[in-house]
């Protein structure tokens, strides 16, 4: 059974930092690109970033470039999102997601349970 278990959500002050983690099981983690997507309360889903299966390439939405870093450790089947210089508009549920294929299809095949990040003073 495919599982993505997330952790790391918290309340943080504007300008602060936070690291989200996601551990995969039930599938060959290093065979798939991985994504983070967020959903602010009452808003539509927003794609945040993507990392290739081997961790060598990453892509970001403009609003997080230079502030967020996606990374992975295939030996641990883990995905990370380092979030720096957080803003109130980053408040959202963050989802860790397995891509449909190894080849970065952009289709979001299996979603973690989500973790809430609240940026507030």
Partner 1 sequence: EVVLTQSPATLSLSPGERATLSCRASQSVSTYLAWYQQKPGQSPRLLIYDTSNRATGIPARFSASGSGTDFTLTISSLEPEDFAVYYCQQRNDWPLFTFGPGTKLDLK
Query: What are the residues binding partner 1 (CB under 8 A)?
Result: 44-47, 50, 59, 61, 95, 100, 104-114
Q: What is the nearest approach in angstroms of partner 1 to the Cβ of residue 75?
A: 26
Q: What is the nearest approach in angstroms of partner 1 to the Cβ of residue 21?
A: 16
DSSP one-letter code for 15: T
Q: In this complex, which beta carbon is closest to partner 1, that of residue 90 or of residue 104?
A: 104
Q: What is the nearest approach in angstroms of partner 1 to the Cβ of residue 51?
A: 11
Q: In this complex, which beta carbon is closest to partner 1, that of residue 13 or of residue 103?
A: 103
- 3-state DSSP of 32-82: CCEEEEEECCCCCEEEEEEECCCCCCEEECHHHCCCEEEEEECCCCEEEEE
- Closest-CA residue to 19 (of 84, 64, 76, 96): 84
Q: In this complex, which beta carbon is closest to partner 1, that of residue 2 or of residue 11?
A: 2
């Amino acid at each position: 059974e495919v599982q993505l278990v997330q952790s790391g959500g918290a309340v943080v002050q504007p300008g602060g930092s936070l690291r989200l983690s996601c551990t995969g099981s039930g599938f060959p983690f290093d065979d798939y690109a991985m994504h983070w997507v967020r959903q602010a309360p009452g808003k539509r889903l927003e794609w945040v970033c993507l990392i290739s299966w081997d961790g060598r390439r990453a892509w970001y939405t403009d609003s997080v470039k230079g502030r967020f870093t996606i990374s992975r450790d295939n030996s641990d089947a883990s995905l990370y999102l380092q979030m720096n210089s957080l803003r109130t508009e980053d408040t959202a549920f963050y989802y860790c997601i397995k891509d449909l294929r190894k080849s970065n299809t952009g289709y979001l095949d299996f979603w973690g349970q989500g973790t809430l990040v609240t940026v507030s003073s």
